Amino acid sequence: NAGVTQTPKFRVLKTGQSMTLLCAQDMNHEYMYWYRQDPGMGLRLIHYSVGEGTTAKGEVPDGYNVSRLKKQNFLLGLESAAPSQTSVYFCASGRDRDTGELFFGEGSRLTVL
C-alpha cells in the first residue's frame, strides 16, 4: 500500500514558468487537500476536494488551480510561478470528516527563482 504519493518531490522553477504537482492516493478516500508549509506559518490550506469532480478554495488559493478528474488523483497547478510560491507542499487525503485522520504525502519542495 503506497498511501499518498506526491510527485515530484523536488523542483526548481524560474519565475513565470508553470508546473503541476500530482497527488495520488490508493485508499479510496473522498477528501483530498493541498497545503503549503512555510516557516512559522504552519500548514495553510490552498484548495481541497470532497469528492471526484469537486474542488473548493482554501485560505490561500491565489496563484494556484486544482483538478480532481479521478477520485484517486488531485492535481495542483501553478500557471505562472512567483518567488512567493517557494514552499513545501503537502497533499493529504481522508475518508470522512468524523473519522478525521488525514494521511499526508511526503511533501514536495518547490523553489522559484
- Report how far residue 4's alpha carbon sits from residue 7's, in angstroms, rounded to the nearest whole number: 10
d(CA 110, CA 101): 26
For other proteins, the closer of residues 14 and 98 by Cβ is 98
AA letter at 7: T
Q: To the nearest whole angstrom, how small is the minimum distance from the Cβ of residue 105 to other proteins?
A: 6
Residue 101 CB, nearest approach to other proteins (Å): 4
Judged by beta carbon, residue 22 or residue 50, the one nearer other proteins is 50
Cell numbers 494556484: residue: 64
Residues in contact with other proteins by CB under 8 A are: 31, 33, 35, 40-45, 48, 50, 56, 58-59, 90, 97-107
Pairing assessment for the beta strands 102-104 and 87-94 based on DSSP bridges? antiparallel
Q: Which residue's CB is nearer to other proteins, number 85 or number 94? A: 94
Cell of 61: 488559493
